[in-house]
Chain A
Amino acid sequence: MEMVNITVDGQELQVQKNSTVLEAARIAGIKIPTLCYHPELRPEGNCRVCMVEVKGARTLVASCVYPVSEGMVVNTNTVGVREARKTVVELLLANHPQDCLSCQRNLNCELQTIAADLGVRKIRFEGEKKSYPLDNSNPSLVRDQSKCILCGRCVRACSERQGVNVYSFANRGFKTTVVPAFNQGLDKVACTYCGQCASVCPTGAIVVKDDTLSVWRELANPQKHVVVQTAPAVRVALGEALGLNLGEAVTGKMVAALRRLGFDKVFDTNFSADLTIMEEGAEFLHRLKNGGKLPMITSCSPGWVNFAELFYPDLLDHLSTAKSPQQMFGAIVKTYYAEKAGIDPANIVSVSVMPCTAKKGEAAREEMKSSGYKDVDFVITTTELAAMIKESGIDFASLAEEKYDDPMGIATGAGVIFGATGGVMEAALRTLSELVTGEELKDIEFHNVRGLNGVKEAEIELGDKTVKVAVAHTLLNARALMDKIRRGEADYHFIEIMACPGGCIGGAGQPINLSAGFRQKRIDAIYDCDTKSELRKSHKNPAICELYDTWLGKPLGEKSHHLLHTTYQPQKR
């Protein structure tokens, strides 16, 4: 790698030739303030906060996009530079609602942070402020364009990361704004509700819908038996929002906190993840043996399912008919559990805590009422749970660990790895191997489907058949795979697709984290939970076995078919 010599604030450095001034400065221990810059997106140089002085340049330059060159002399901290940055932030503040104290992103907003860091004490401009009606049109996300600072991150995330291209800049001058096509609500355009836009938004312009009020209401109702399920990815990120370290699994404390909040039963989505493996595994073998539609593709990521229904309606029969763990749980809790516990299902309120925004839409789907009632009543995200915990004054860090309730709280390591990209595939392979060969699997870790590569491929021996699998995360990679299938070039048998980068641990319902390698740390915590589990194969889960033996019958049986499987329709938006 070719290196160049530059000077930054008097420090002489040797940096890689293709670096930007921003990256070079970091090496020198200088963190130039930025706003529109995002470590995982291509830099654009919109906000003009990261300005620095480069000797010989006509104006100040944006360090996030300016490439280094031999002999460059940079000053990041002159009077002129600081004044310029302040003016830029002042201009943003002059056109921003001043309701920080009651905003959903209070204390967690990058505009607040930069204004504080730069020491902005006065806003010298008074004038027109932009105002737009809220976009509250859909179950997952809320858009408030008045808070938009036009950093363009949502545009970049939706196009570069997800390949869905919902957002673009529109209009000129003061009226410039970032909107979906023709300024329609997200519900009217081809949006998958994956929420990655909210995940990168620096302010409260795009936020996850807050459903906690409904949950509080139900918890306060003595007539209702409120049960909660927690997704695997929640436990490795909840701590981040409550002052604990990144990469720590806080399962025990989370369960304890949920009980304190007043949930009657605290169950684990990992249980129904195991259930999903039973059904989906059986479905896969059925297709494999009987010439069913291949490749079969997982269907537990609702962002991905929306994507398929919107963009690949011709390939919907590739999707597994198995519901997602969240929805399987909902169906089972208001039938099997209700029966077992002797509770009238009409009084059961089923809440889920998810890392995901699209899950809110999934729970609201018309067909998700197999129990005779709405299978999942309310979905709250990891950050919403953290907010509820803070609101109730629970000292999370000092809670003693508690265990999930029976029966739907018993789960295996195979269930927990659903939270990472490749986890569903690995869990399925652990079960499929033993189902097909009848022999116990010695090496149950399938490392070739783990990791952050966009598309991973592997060949697995299932008995006498070699099965080709693929694992993709982000919708951009999903698109590439689906195009391959459309062209008839895909010779895979089984594909796992997750809409979010890194899998569910990177969902938009998770606390926002900009630190380097945070996705890997959460993934490591997930696999750590798996390694520490006693049971690591879904079909060995005693609670699952009991469910089938006493109540469900067989995987793909009539009851399963009715409660645990679903259909898909093309979406026309």
Chain B
Amino acid sequence: MEHFRAHVLICAGTGCVSSGSKKVEAALREQLAKKGLDKEIKIVETGCHGFCEMGPLVIVYPEGVFYVRVKEEDVTDIVEDHLYKGRIVERLLYKEPVSLEKVPNYSDIPFYKKQMRMVLANCGHIDPEVIEEYIAVNGYQALGKALVEMKPEDVVDEVKKSGLRGRGGGGFPTGLKWGFTRSAVGEKKYVVCNADEGDPGAFMDRSVLEGDPHRIIEGMAICGYAIGADEGYIYVRAEYPLAIKRLKIAISQAEDMGLLGENIFGSGFNFKIKIKEGAGAFVCGEETALLASIEGRRGMPRPRPPFPAVSGLWGKPTNINNVETFANVPQIINNGADWYAAIGTERSKGTKVFALTGRINHTGLAEVPMGISMREIIYDIGGGIPNGKKFKAVQIGGPSGGCLPENMLNLAVDYDSLIEVGAMMGSGGLVVMDETTCMVDVAKFFLNFTQSESCGKCTPCREGTKRMLEILTRITDGEGKDGDIELLQDMAKDIKATALCGLGQTAPNPVLSTIRYFKHEYEAHIKEKRCPAGACSKLAGYTILDSCKGCSLCKKACPVEAISGTIKAKHQIDSEKCIKCGTCLAKCPFKAIVKG
């Protein structure tokens, strides 16, 4: 067997691929061959490392040197200097954003140091298209242990004891759900994996599917054994072609090895998995709409009870869980429920993968133990806010969630603490906002999303989100009326109480949350027709600061005579007359006029 003395891991997750990692790989292969190093250096395509802001990523083992933003042209230096001569290519190393200190080793980079990468353990470290690599890092051991050494009820109990809660957003205790499905009456049962990941900006599930697909297969198979199902479906959104490709390869390889199919590990347990592609509807991430979609019907939710655990896919008991939930299962079986329950908080066990997006230095994926503070996530791992701007708020939970302002940053992140403050864990998408973000606009953005994705079945969601959106649009257009805030709150209360499914029930959350913490912004829009963040274009106003010298150049330049003032005294702009042309700002020689 060849002994490879070095492994060069190139990230082939969707993010890095779009940044050109395939070209880097091709160049690397070519040059290694030319240099005669291809027999001793192995090139491995891995899944997503999570540090997407820095891609394309290349890691050289055994040293663990972490190269960032590698381009095709950089490959020559990597081959000549590092791989041939053993000298690290300094310029390609990661640099701390503030101190600009170089950090050569993967394990020392602060982005990774504070993380507890358990679900993401293999992402970026193994080739997802080679089942042997998954097996080499203990893959399928949990399935074997469950099938050979445990009874189905024991598996359910272990998951219950671990305290694992649904990672798709609902946070429902996973073991409890498995228990319900297990005790439901019926011979035929199904396991379904919800890989629809509809929240805008969320890509945790995608990375796991692309980087470690076998983990999901193993988790689903363990679930099937526990509840008595012999068939599983993975419902993947069609916008994830790479994930679908990797899953297909993984399923086929698992089948070839007898890890899927009949009589797995000689236990008599059969399990097969099919993939069903979504068709572009956010609402199909809702479990009953998802089941309808698999059945070939229009993706519209239905009232519950009965719950899918009792009557799901084709009327049979079905257990649906999110990708990340299934990804947690193998390690719980391998290491035990107590080990898992030791991580996290009282009521939220284990780790959570968050997608850091928005105004943050280190956009990417971070997996942290429950109970970590939001401040640590955003500053220690996320690297803080770029361009010297100030943190304003972080939106958690996507269109179903809420925002947290600066004074809540010390909040320990877990399911219940977030709900208490009007937010929601959701699937784990974090959108960081700075002072240039208008919070009313944020509410409008999310409501626009939920309105266009509403399936239209029930009145409060279909009509209610539209009317709320219209009100928010009026407000951001400067046509807000007194009473609009109260009307939004009343509507939100009624919509939350009457909507048929989670989409409608949580659609008002961004509105309620922004009103709760940023009411002054709403009031400024409505009463003063002013957008404090300066984001709403129709309200882009201008203000003269105290540094005004009273030269009157602006007054003379204003085409509608909206500026008043005497020479040598501070001038004023009449916002009613102002047509927002910006001429005054351009004319002022003292930078005394600002937008907003």
Contact = CB atoms under 8 A, between A and B. Distances in A.
Interface of A: 44-49, 51, 59-62, 65-67, 80, 83-84, 87-88, 91-92, 94-95, 124-128, 149-150, 152, 168-169, 171-177
Given A91-B464, A91-B467, A168-B298, A176 B455 contact: yes
Given A60-B497, A169-B298, A173-B453, A46 B470 contact: no
28 contacts: A44-B457, A48-B460, A48-B498, A48-B500, A51-B497, A59-B497, A59-B505, A61-B303, A62-B500, A67-B306, A87-B464, A87-B495, A87-B498, A88-B459, A88-B460, A88-B494, A124-B487, A125-B467, A150-B456, A152-B457, A169-B300, A169-B455, A172-B283, A172-B452, A172-B455, A173-B456, A173-B462, A176-B457
Interface in B262-301: 281, 283, 298, 300
Contacts of A67: 305-306
Contacts of B460: 48, 87-88, 91
Given A45-B303, A51-B498, A88-B494, A174 B459 contact: no
B462 A176 contact: yes
B357 interface: no
A193 B145 CA distance: 63
Interface of B: 281, 283, 298, 300, 302-303, 305-306, 451-460, 462-467, 470, 487, 490-491, 494-500, 505
Contacts of B499: 48, 59
B453 A172 contact: yes
A374 B466 CA distance: 51
A358 B132 CA distance: 68
Given A91-B467, A150-B457, A169-B457, 8 more contacts: A45-B458, A60-B497, A66-B303, A94-B467, A124-B487, A127-B466, A150-B459, A173-B462
A405 to B, nearest CB: 52
Which 7 residue pairs of A and B lie closest in terms of their CB atoms, listed nearest first?
A176-B456, A91-B463, A87-B494, A127-B470, A45-B303, A125-B467, A48-B498
Contacts of B459: 46-49, 88, 91-92, 149-150
Most interface-central of B281, B303, B464 (chain A CB within 10 A):
B303
B543 to A, nearest CB: 32
Nearest to B487: A124
Contact of B470 (A59, A83, A128): A128
Contacts of B464: 87, 91
Contacts of B452: 172-173
B284 to A, nearest CB: 11
A127 B281 contact: no
Given A66-B305, A124-B487, A92 B463 contact: yes
Overall SS of chain B's interface: helix
Nearest to A171: B456
Contacts of B305: 66-67
Nearest to B454: A173
Most interface-central of A48, A59, A61, A66 (chain B CB within 10 A):
A48
A176 B454 contact: yes
A60 B457 contact: no
B400 to A, nearest CB: 14
Contacts of B457: 44, 46, 150, 152, 169, 176
Contacts, number: 114
B498 A174 contact: no
B408 to A, nearest CB: 24
Nearest to B483: A124
A65 to B, nearest CB: 4
A92 to B, nearest CB: 6
A44 B298 CA distance: 14
Contacts of B463: 91-92, 94-95, 174
A62 B451 CA distance: 22
Contacts of A127: 466-467, 470
A292 B454 CA distance: 57
A172 B448 CA distance: 12
Contacts of B470: 125-128
Contacts of A149: 459
Contacts of A172: 281, 283, 452-456
Contact of B462 (A66, A83, A174): A174
A59 B456 CA distance: 19
Contacts of B456: 150, 169, 171-177
Given A94-B467, A128-B466, A176-B455, A65 B303 contact: yes
A80 B456 CA distance: 24
A368 B496 CA distance: 57
Nearest to A149: B459
Contacts of B495: 87
B498 A173 contact: no
A173 B466 contact: yes
Contact of A80 (B302, B306, B453, B497): B497
Contacts of B500: 45-46, 48, 62
B497 A174 contact: no
Contacts of A171: 456
B497 A84 contact: yes
B495 to A, nearest CB: 8
A91 B498 CA distance: 12
A172 B465 CA distance: 12
B285 to A, nearest CB: 14
A83 B494 contact: yes
Contacts of A59: 496-499, 505
A62 B466 contact: no
Nearest to B306: A67
B451 A173 contact: yes
Contacts of B298: 168-169
Nearest to A60: B497
Most interface-central of A44, A60, A65, A87 (chain B CB within 10 A):
A87
Contacts of A94: 463, 467
A84 B462 contact: no
Given A91-B463, A127-B470, A174-B466, A84 B498 contact: yes
A204 B465 CA distance: 25
Nearest to B497: A60
A150 B494 contact: no
Nearest to A43: B303
Most interface-central of B302, B465, B494 (chain A CB within 10 A):
B494
Most interface-central of B460, B463, B467 (chain A CB within 10 A):
B463
A87 B453 contact: no
A51 B500 CA distance: 10
A88 B463 CA distance: 9
A145 to B, nearest CB: 13
B505 to A, nearest CB: 6
B410 to A, nearest CB: 29
A171 B455 CA distance: 8
Contacts of A62: 303, 500
Contacts of A169: 298, 300, 455-457
B498 A60 contact: yes
Contacts of B505: 59
B498 A46 contact: no
A177 B455 CA distance: 10
B440 to A, nearest CB: 18
A94 B306 CA distance: 33
Contacts of B465: 173
Most interface-central of B303, B498, B500 (chain A CB within 10 A):
B498
A82 to B, nearest CB: 11
B28 to A, nearest CB: 45
Contacts of A51: 497-498
Nearest to B449: A173
A46 B496 contact: no
Nearest to B282: A172
A62 B501 CA distance: 12
A174 B495 CA distance: 15
A84 B492 CA distance: 10
Contacts of A60: 497-498
A88 B454 CA distance: 16
Contacts of A125: 467, 470
Contacts of A124: 487
